[in-house]
Structure 1
Amino acid sequence: MKLEGVELRRIALPLVTPFRTSLGTQSERTALVLKVVGDEGEGWGECVAEDEPTYSPEYLTGAAEVIRGFFVPALAGLDLNPASVGHALRHLRGHPMARSAVEMAVLDCWLRARRTSLTDHLGGVRPSVRVGVSVGIMETLDALLETVDKHLTAGYARIKLKIEPGWDLEPVRAVRETFGADVMLTVDANTAYSPGDIRHLARLDAYGLALIEQPFEPGDLHAHATFAARVDTPVCLDESITSAADAADAIRRGACSIINIKPGRVGGYLEARRIHDVAAAHGVPVWCGGMLETGLGRAGNLALAALPGFTLPGDISATERYYHRDITRPFVLDDGTMAVPTDPGLGVVPEEDALEAVTTGSEWIPAVP
């Protein structure tokens, strides 16, 4: 496959309700949507970097510059396949979310030309996957309980509560006492705590959580290992894991017993599969996290979550959880599960009018060797 060029769009999708974590509050999701055009057709990708470098060092404007100035020129003139993208970009350091977007679009194009679905290419084994929902930090406990009740009524298989200092023990206690011990409940700190908070966080053991996600800074595996040895609740890493090598190191050091895999964070679906394989070799369960993706990323994440090691419900909620209208067909919850797309490539494409309605800027980047 020879690359002819990339159409790069910046989009802004209003959220149904603002989503607050320890890193800040979002009322709309901005993203980059890529259309790769080659001699075998076209394919779509999505860059999930945020406007500001808070979750990771990447940010949206920087990702666009890297794709425009470095990634597209590096791929020009090459005979591309999914594996060759990483090889062609190996001399360029960092920027996993931008890499993931380019790889995703090339994968989609290449697989569509071969009439193969992404889930089949990755090794998916399930026609549908169990999914959970992430609940942001609320103004009041009453608002939290109302929101959790709505999601449980909808059928989500797992509830994840975002926490931060001052919003942790009490909301967890309220949800557990209100909805009972049978609800699969997890918490996610997004690095909001310091090692000095270990004794405080250990009190979460009392609430029968399925996991505690990323309490400390990404590079502090020692604190995570110390905490994991202190508590009975499994510790899950998110921001700390950016590659299969990271996953192997964290497991070896006892810093986690569960891993959240986000394709954008780790540089794409192929590296995500490698992390899955490393975790499976060590008996460590994984699940697929979310970055408020459009339907493009949602489709890809469902394909990934169909792999055998993804034994916990992921953050791949139904479209209506976040958007009144997405850029693709909506994804619908069915008894706590969502169907894995089986059409070639990602299995979905943007609806032209929906994409145009949310586009705030676009450009054509020719592939010039």
Structure 2
Amino acid sequence: MPRVRELEVFRLLLPFGRRSESLLVKLTDHGGMTGWGETTAPPAKTWSRLEETLAALLIGVDWEHPDTVPSGDSAVDMACWDLWTKMRGVPLAEAIGGTRTSLMATVRLSPDSSVEGLVTRVNQQICAGYGHVTLDVRPGWDVEPVRAVRQAYPALTLAVDCGNAYTDLDQLVALDSYGLEVIERPFATTDVHSHASLQDQVAASVAVEVASPAELDDYLTLRAARVLLLRPAAFPSLSEARRAHDRAAAAGWDIQCTGGQGAGLARAATVAVASLPGCTLPCDVTQPPRQNQIVTPVVGANGGVIAVPLTQSGLGHEIDEDRLRRMTKESFHA
């Protein structure tokens, strides 16, 4: 039974790409074993809440399973899972019900300064081994780049991520003529009816991202999509993410796991969740920059394939604590 004797929380400023923050939690039990968790882009109130409540919640308290720790925070939950699975000598992926040993990957490409430049980048990724490409599109950067990529690569499996930026169905229906597999996040998350109308009019599967099984139920009721875009870090616990997976899979939906931000721990949890049997679409942990990661080996794809770490217990990655402390903006210890 785990009993935490020491905890540390780190607020990291990620130095590469778009500068962002991560919050890391380290739990140490009485035997010296550690568990790590991460929240990406944490709200400002998260730091003060953890500082005020985390020690009383965990230090010296016996708990039998991560689900019995009522933290409401994904970093704490992940750290509890990492510690709990290490104590049992099992990989996290296996503990939550994962069955895959490797995952196909998609690569996500942001808008370019030119259509020609985008086509060149797609070619580079195909040469690197990717057979699935997701293009970020927005109003004004959609039909023309998608048409150019499809004309250059007629057999490429292609998806688009709309970033919840659209209000007009006609623009998205026009994209569907280019043989898309998935149209991700077309409208605001709360606009379930527009998602349903779009799914009725296109051959591509509409994908929605939710943060709770209850939000997913609204889409299931209206048959407003056919793909769940599952971001484990958006859920308060891995068990909640698993419940969303189970509901979507039971409804016959495909599932794509995504989560490329942060310092590597959240990505590792994404890979573990993506090993679940219902996660049928390529996993997305390829968002750069990899230089932000403090884990060894880094989490990412090699030749379009992501390995699921099954030879080590817990998350399956070592932490470079020297690099972590160099990136730390502030921390507390209890």
TM-score for the superposition, normalised by structure 2: 0.92
> Of 50, 68, 73, which aligns to 1:84?
68
User: 2:102 matched to 1:100?
Assistant: no
1:8 aligned residue: 9
Deviation at 1:363, TM superposition (A): 1.5
Quick check: 1:299 aligned with 2:282?
no
- Among 129, 140, 150, the alignment partner of 1:176 is 150
The answer to whether residue 238 in structure 2 is matched with residue 257 in structure 1 is no
> When the two structures are aligned, how many residues end up with a matched partner?
329
Distance, in Å, in 2 between the alignment partners of 1:288 and 1:112 is 23
Match of 2:39 among 40, 44, 47: 47
- The match for 2:139 is 165
Q: Does 1:38 align with 2:9?
A: no
Structure 1 residue aligned with 2:52, among 59, 64, 69?
69
Q: CA deviation at 1:293?
A: 3.1
Measure how far apart 1:72 and its partner are.
4.6
Preserved contact between residue 43 and residue 105 of structure 1 (Cα < 8 Å)? yes
The CA distance in 2 between the partners of 1:111 and 1:84, in whole Å, is 15
Determine if contact 1:10/1:31 at 8 Å carries over to the other structure: yes
- Give the match for residue 22 of structure 1: none
**Alignment of 1:324 onto 2:315:** no
Q: How does 1:180-199 map to 2 (within 5 A)?
A: 180=154, 182-194=155-167, 197-199=168-170
Q: Report deviation, 1:12.
A: 2.5
Superposed CA RMSD in Å reads: 1.9
TM superposition shift of 1:347: 0.8
Structure 1 pair 62/289, CA: closer, same or farther in 2 (3 Å)? same
Structure 1 residue 262: Cα displacement: 0.5
Unaligned residue ranges in structure 2 (runs of 5+): none
- How far 1:9 moved relative to its partner? 1.0
| Residue 339 (1) aligns with residue 307 (2) | yes
Distance 1:359 1:148 in 2: 35
| Alpha carbons of structure 1 residues 163 and 73: separation in structure 2 relative to 1, 3 Å | farther
Counterpart CA distance in 2 for 1:133 and 1:268 is 26
Q: Any conservation in 1 of the 2:263–2:292 contact (CA below 8 Å)?
A: no
Quick check: 2:258–2:284 contact (8 Å CA) kept in 1? yes
Identical positions, percent = 34
Higher mean C-alpha displacement, 185-194 vs 68-77 = 68-77
Does the aligned pair in 2 maintain the 1:296–1:349 contact within 8 Å?
A: no
1:120 and 2:89 are equivalent in the alignment: no
Alignment of 1:358-369 (within 5 A): 358-364=327-333, 366=334
Query: 1:310 matched to which residue of 2?
Result: 279
Q: What SS class does the counterpart of residue 19 from structure 2 fall into? A: strand
Q: Partner of 1:140 in structure 2? A: 114
CA contact (8 A) 1:29 1:292 kept: no
Match of 1:214 in 2: 185
Q: Which amino acid aligns with 2:24?
A: V
Q: CA-to-partner distance for each residue in 1:270-320, whole Å, 9 max, x for gaps?
A: 1111111111111111010124132212222111111111110011228xx
User: Could you give the per-residue CA deviations for residues 240-297 of structure 1, whole angstroms, max 9, x where no partner exists?
Assistant: x111222232112111110011011122321111111111111111010124132212
Q: Distance in 2 between matches of 1:157 and 1:28?
A: 30
Confirm or deny: 8 A CA contact 1:49 1:63 kept in the other structure: no
